[in-house]
Structure formats: C-alpha cells, structure tokens
Amino acid sequence: MSFDREQVLRDAAALLSRRATASMDEIAKAAGISRATLHRHFPGRDALVRALGLLGIAQMDERLDAARIEEGDPVEAVRRLIDEAMPVSGFLAFLYGENQLYDMPEVNEGWARVDERVSALFRRGQEQGLFRYDLAPTWLGEALYALIAASAWCVQDGRMARNDSARMVSELMLGGMLRSAS
Amino acid sequence: MSFDREQVLRDAAALLSRRATASMDEIAKAAGISRATLHRHFPGRDALVRALGLLGIAQMDERLDAARIEEGDPVEAVRRLIDEAMPVSGFLAFLYGENQLYDMPEVNEGWARVDERVSALFRRGQEQGLFRYDLAPTWLGEALYALIAASAWCVQDGRMARNDSARMVSELMLGGMLRSAS
Amino acid sequence: MSFDREQVLRDAAALLSRRATASMDEIAKAAGISRATLHRHFPGRDALVRALGLLGIAQMDERLDAARIEEGDPVEAVRRLIDEAMPVSGFLAFLYGENQLYDMPEVNEGWARVDERVSALFRRGQEQGLFRYDLAPTWLGEALYALIAASAWCVQDGRMARNDSARMVSELMLGGMLRSAS
Amino acid sequence: MSFDREQVLRDAAALLSRRATASMDEIAKAAGISRATLHRHFPGRDALVRALGLLGIAQMDERLDAARIEEGDPVEAVRRLIDEAMPVSGFLAFLYGENQLYDMPEVNEGWARVDERVSALFRRGQEQGLFRYDLAPTWLGEALYALIAASAWCVQDGRMARNDSARMVSELMLGGMLRSAS
DNA sequence: TATGAATGAGTCTTCATTCAT
DNA sequence: AATGAATGAAGACTCATTCAT
C-alpha cells in the first residue's frame, strides 16, 4: 500500500479536530498506516501537528487564490470563498481549534496572513456599503471559521449532506436565518 | 481560601473548551487550587469532565427556562435565548467541543434534551413562517452553539467586548451579515 | 536483553514476599527491566499480583503432582512434598504472605485447592496412625508454609545453604527439635 | 474515649503484620481513633513503626525475663518462652515480618539482643545434648518466630483457638508432627 | 479529641518514541 | 513498510501530613 502523505494528513486533521487528545496510535489507525510509518514520515507529534498546520495554511492560501477573493463583488467573493474552502474544511477546522499551533511561529504567521486576507474581504464589503458596519471584520472571520468547522463536523457525523454544506454556511452568513425582508 | 465548586468548574470549562489536552495540573492552577485538592473534589479526570457536563446541562436548562423559549414570538425567543445563554457560554463551548462526553449516557441524554428544546424553537419559527425553510433546525442549532462558543473565545482572548457578544451572535444569526436585508 | 516472563515473576515474588510495600519501580529494578516494560507485560500492580498468584498456584500444583503426595507412605510423601516445593519456595512465601490475593476469586480458589491437597495428606497420615492426632491438619499446613517461607528467606539472606533448606524444614516438621525422639 | 497507647499499638501491629500496605487511615480505624489523633501521638508513619518496634522488643525482653529462659531445663525453658511470648505474638509477628525496621538502628540492636537470647537457649539445649545438633540455633529461632506468627494469624482468622496456640507451637517445635517414638 | 479541607511528595500509569526484526 | 518490544518522560493519582474548626 503506497503512502499518500496528503491523505494521511487529511485523516489526521479530521480526527484531531474532533479529538485533540487522540494518541499517535489512533491517528495511525485512522490513516490506515502503522505507528512506525507515521513516525518515519513525521518524526514526532509536534512535527505532525506542524505539517498539518503548514499544509492547512497552504491549502487555504490556494483556495483564497482560486476564489479570487480580492476581486469583484464582495458578496460573490464570500460565496466563492466558502465554496472553495469547503473541500478543505477539515484542515480549517483543525486550524481553528488547535491551540498548540500558537507555539509555532511559522504556522502562526501563515495563519495571520490567511486571516488578514479574509478580514480584508469583509472590510472591503463594508467599505462598499454592502456588509453591516456593526459586525467587526474580525468577528465575521471568526464566525465564518466556526460555521465552516461546524458544518464539517455535521458532515462527518452524517447530520448534513456534503453537497449542502457550502450553501448552509453561505446562506447563514449572508442572509441570516430570517425569512423576512428579502 | 475557601473552595467554590462552581467557580472551579467554570474555570475548568473555560480552559478545557480551549485546550482539551490541558493537564490536571494546568486545570488546578487555572482554578487556583492544588492538583490534590482538585482530585479530592473530582476523583479522576473523568469525574471532572462528567461534573462539567452535568453542570453545563443544568445551567443550560435553567437558562432555557429563564428565556421562556417555548413562549411568544420566536424571533424574540431566540434573542432571549442568546442573551440568557451568554453568561454560561463557557460551559456551552465545553459541551459543544468535548467529545469524551459522548461516552457518558447521563450527559448524553441531558444534552439531547437541551438540543431538542433549541431545535423545537427553530421548528416553531419555521412553522410560523418567520424562519427560513431551507436551513434545517438541526443546522441552526449547531450554528448557534458554534457562534456562541466562538464569541466566548473572542471575549476570552480580548478580541470582543463581553457586553457586545450577545448582540454579535444574535445579529448574525437573525440578520446575517448583509446590510441590504434591513 | 530478552524478556523472560517467568524470571521476572520469580524476582518479583522474591521481593514482594519480603517487602509487600515494594514499589513498581523497585520490582522493575529487581527484575532488571524498566517500569514501563513491567507495565507493558502486567498492566497495573493488580495484574502483576494476580499473575504471581496464578503462577505460584500452578507451580505448586505441578510440584504436588510431581511429589505424588496422594500416594505411598505419608511420611515419605511429606518429605517429597518439601523437596519438590523448595525450588518454588519464593512463590509459596508470596502466596502465604500476600493478603491482597484474598480479593481475587480465581487465585483464592486455586489456593484452596492446593491447601486441600496438603491438608488431605496430613489427614491421611493421621488416619494411618502415623501423625499426631492433637495437631490439626490445618495447623500442620500453615506451619509447613510458614517454615518453607522462613527457610526461603534464610536462604535469600545467606543465613542458610540452599541445599540444606529442604532438610531443615523436613526434620523440624517430622521430628521436632528434640534429640530424644530419634 | 480515653487514649490507650498500648492498645493502639497492639491493634496497629495486628493490622500491619497482615497488611504491610495498610494506610494510616486504616490503622486509625482499626484502633478506633481518628487519623489526627494517631498523628498527634505518633508524628509520622515512621514514628509509629519505630514505636511498634521498640514496644515489641520491650515486650519480648520482659517475656524472656518472665520465662527465665536462661535458667533450668532447656526444654521447659522453651515451653515457658512460648507460653509467655504468645500474649505478645502480634508484636512478634510484626517484628518478624516488617523489613522497614532494618533501617532503624535502635530497633535493630534491640532485636539482635532478643534474638541472641533465644539463640543462646537453643545452643544451651544442644550443649546439654537435649536438642538436635543438625538444626542450627539460628534456624530454630527463625522457625520459632515463624510458627508463633503463623499461630497468631490462625487465631486472628478464627482458624485456631487462642488457648490452643501455645501448645500447637510447643508441640510442633519440640516433638515434630510424628506420633512415633514418644 | 474528632472532623474535614488542603496540599506536597511520591507512586502508578500511559504514551510518544526508538529499535530490532 | 509493518510489527512488537523496550523505555524515558510526563501526566494521573494516592497518601501521609498539616491545619482550621
């Protein structure tokens, strides 16, 4: 069985974002490989966590690029952002929840860059008079990550269809739950 | 220094909801007592987690009662729910994130009851034509918990004023981030 | 250095029969392995004590078989019993002194079986008019275990030659200390 | 309830000779007093063990005096020794089994003195041609302590009548278990 | 003197990690 | 690359001990 680094990391992120206390043994099992192999490729738990952080950030950067969030209508940009981010929601959930990452400067910086890009989008929407002024861009960012993570867990647990998740997040973020005014 | 069980649990919930891997030592320090004292009152980590789960559920039940979420205008009921829940948002964040609780039947049942009350409110809002039909009550519940937890963390980290948090969650849930809706 | 389960148990029995309060660390050191390795093979102190009890009983059963204590002249049977038991005297001393074993049904039953075989030998000797009637089989059994344990400790402490120990016990049990009896 | 130091020590010796791992709590309960009281009178577990050792030795010295083991017929002296020692058999069992005592010089010396007096008796018996030459005085001493301890436990467990115990030990030591020659 | 709270110290236990096969 | 053994390091837990009531 060949070793698929990205798949292993995906499985690890999915597990760790739900159970931060998972042992290396459980992680290896979840990824379908042996402890020793896991250790060979990621020498130490810290190395694994770092790799998860770095890959997660790289993925997010790619997705933000693909979504061209700096361009066009902010509302549509938010939709594209969510659509693009959803396939890597497992990594985002991990990044959002894992506090150990705070001790890793490189990861921290990378995440700050990602977060800044997202915040900039929200600011741009506010400046164009499209987004509410009374919700801080920082909070909108946090809320977005929280909702994407929540939807990822719902999908994982079978409480939501994978194909619905992007819309569930987009609609709530953009329109709220009220039927009213629209 | 006298031992305040509820305060200890509050501190423990705040810490554990952020770092599920926190050691008993860290928890004790966060609560300002010694490891041994923590163990005397909660014999074993499981006991502590269980106590946290049970207290969190009891608190939520109280708050749902206080908010009278089964009564009146669903929109106002949601606002009251969020207002009331915010003071115990630390416990809610813990309940939302701690997967070990799944192994404790009593806690599980309690949480299911709380969750059902919340879902019922969302269903009621939909039946009255006030809430959108295309967002499942289950998802709205998850989103609500996720946003409350996120706001609790923002407050903890000093990125949001405590007094703003309820409004931040309410507005996003009810109105979404778009200005146009008003 | 390869792991020899029986040797580890032998060392543990020798130590625990003398110092019931010995820590797992001391036991591991006495066996020439690390604490962690000891724990890997015997997960928890109870498991170690149980294993010691079960092995001790199995050894005694074997030795009673080998000594054919149910056959032939009771006096000779007692001599054979002592001769055979001496090589496992460390385990017998452990079984004799360790009261934690009382909480382990399987060990308890095994020991009761061993004890019954020994008592039966003493009863048989009495019935054949060879052993004194005024010393109860139960007491003779206790005395035998106590003397074997005592001799094991004397050998351990270098106060008695290993090769003498069986005779020391046999002679005292059978003939008493008086010279006149001969 | 007045505090009876000797009674407390007697109870403690009885418990500790059987369960060396007994906690201070259990010891206090066995003696019918509170932990704090036990600690007031014996500041620390070591102090308690030391007090037990010293009292046990003092008792034995008294009993050896009372038995006048240095005088008269060695056989009768052995009988008197056993008769006198039996009431303090609990302490003797403790002294015999407790290895922690080896670290206490005063106790060690005291015990050496007691042991020497007992050994001297056995030597005297051999010199007078009454005791067997092939059983070393050291071994006879060990055997005597072991049998007295064993009988104490049998009495404690209800497997032997208190009034029989001295005879059970004397007869076995002096005459052995054989009916034959006498 | 008894009781219950609090804690430092030390033991028990687990886990990440390495190594040999 | 997989497996099982071995272990240091770290966390969980218990107990002796002190203190306040």
d(CA D121, CA D137): 8
**pLDDT in 10s for each residue of chain B, 182 residues:** 567 899 999 999 999 999 999 999 999 999 999 999 999 999 999 999 999 999 999 999 999 999 999 999 999 999 999 999 999 999 999 999 888 888 899 999 999 999 999 999 999 999 999 999 999 999 999 999 999 999 999 999 999 999 999 999 999 999 877 775 44
The predicted model gives A153-159 an average pLDDT of 94
Go through chain D and tell me how many residues it has.
Answer: 182
Q: Is D180 on the interface with C (CB under 8 A)?
A: yes
Nucleotide nearest to A41 (CA to C1'): F1
Is-contact B73 B131, C-beta < 8 A?
no
Backbone φ, ψ for residue B178 (5° rounding): -80, 140
Q: Where are the domains of chain C?
A: 45-175
Q: Can you read off the two tokens belonging to residue D83? A: 């008769």
- Cβ pair A146:B147 closer than 8 A: yes
D144 to chain C, closest Cα gap in Å: 9
Chains D and A touch (3+ CB pairs under 8 A): no
pLDDT of residue C61 exceeding 50: yes
* Buried b / exposed e along B106-131 (16+ C-beta atoms within 10 A): ebeebbeebbebbbebbbbbbeeebb
C:86-125 residues touching chain D, CB 8 A cutoff: 97, 99-100, 122, 125
d(CA D97, CA C94): 12
Q: What is the pLDDT of residue A182?
A: 45
Topology of domain D49-175, per CATH?
A: Tetracycline Repressor; domain 2 (1.10.357)
Chains C and D touch (3+ CB pairs under 8 A): yes
pLDDT of residue D1 exceeding 80: no
Residues 6+ apart with CB under 8 A from C91: C10, C13, C52, C55, C56, C59, C60
> What CATH number has the domain spanning B53-175?
1.10.357.10
Residue in C122, C138, C177 closest to D173 by CB: C177
Nucleotide nearest to A24 (CA to C1'): E16
Residue in chain A closest to B15 (alpha carbons) equals: A99
**Which pLDDT tens digit goes with each residue over C38-47?**
999 999 999 9
- pTM of this structure: 0.90
Of B89, B87, B97, the residue nearest B18 (C-alpha) = B97
Task: Give D151's contacts in chain C (Cβ within 8 Å).
Answer: 139, 142
Q: What is the pLDDT of residue C105?
A: 93
Pairs of residues, one from chain C and one from chain D, whose beta carbons lie less than 8 Å apart: 145
Indicate yes or no: strand E within 7 A of the C-beta of B181: no
- Cβ pair D132:C179 closer than 8 A: yes
**Which pLDDT tens digit goes with each residue over B121-172?**
999 999 999 999 999 999 999 999 999 999 999 999 999 999 999 999 999 9
Q: What is the pLDDT of residue A1?
A: 52
The predicted model gives A121-127 an average pLDDT of 94
D:7-26 residues touching chain C, CB 8 A cutoff: 18-21
Q: What is the pLDDT of residue A177?
A: 78
Residue A112 DSSP one-character state: H
Q: What is the pLDDT of residue B3?
A: 79
Q: What is the pLDDT of residue B182?
A: 44
Residue in D18, D149, D175 closest to C176 by CB: D175
Residue in chain A closest to B182 (alpha carbons) equals: A181
Indicate yes or no: strand F within 7 A of the C-beta of B154: no
Indicate yes or no: strand E within 7 A of the C-beta of A29: no
How far is C-alpha B155 from the chain's CA centre? 14
Indicate yes or no: strand F within 7 A of the C-beta of A21: no
Indicate yes or no: strand E within 7 A of the C-beta of D5: no
Superfamily in which the A52-175 domain is placed by CATH = Tetracycline Repressor, domain 2 (1.10.357.10)
Indicate yes or no: strand F within 7 A of the C-beta of A33: yes
pLDDT of residue C182 exceeding 50: no
* Buried b / exposed e along C16-30 (16+ C-beta atoms within 10 A): bbbbbebebeebbbb
Q: What is the pLDDT of residue B87?
A: 96
Residue in chain C closest to D126 (alpha carbons) equals: C179
Q: What is the pLDDT of residue D2?
A: 63
Q: Is B176 on the interface with A (CB under 8 A)?
A: yes
Task: For C45-175, give the CATH class.
Answer: mainly alpha
The predicted model gives A120-128 an average pLDDT of 95
The CA dihedral of C51, C52, C53, C57, to the nearest 10 degrees, is: 100
- SS3 assignment, position A6: helix
Is-contact D129 C179, C-beta < 8 A?
yes
d(CA C40, CA A101): 32
**Which pLDDT tens digit goes with each residue over D109-153?**
999 999 999 999 999 999 999 999 999 999 999 999 999 999 999
d(CA B89, CA B56): 9
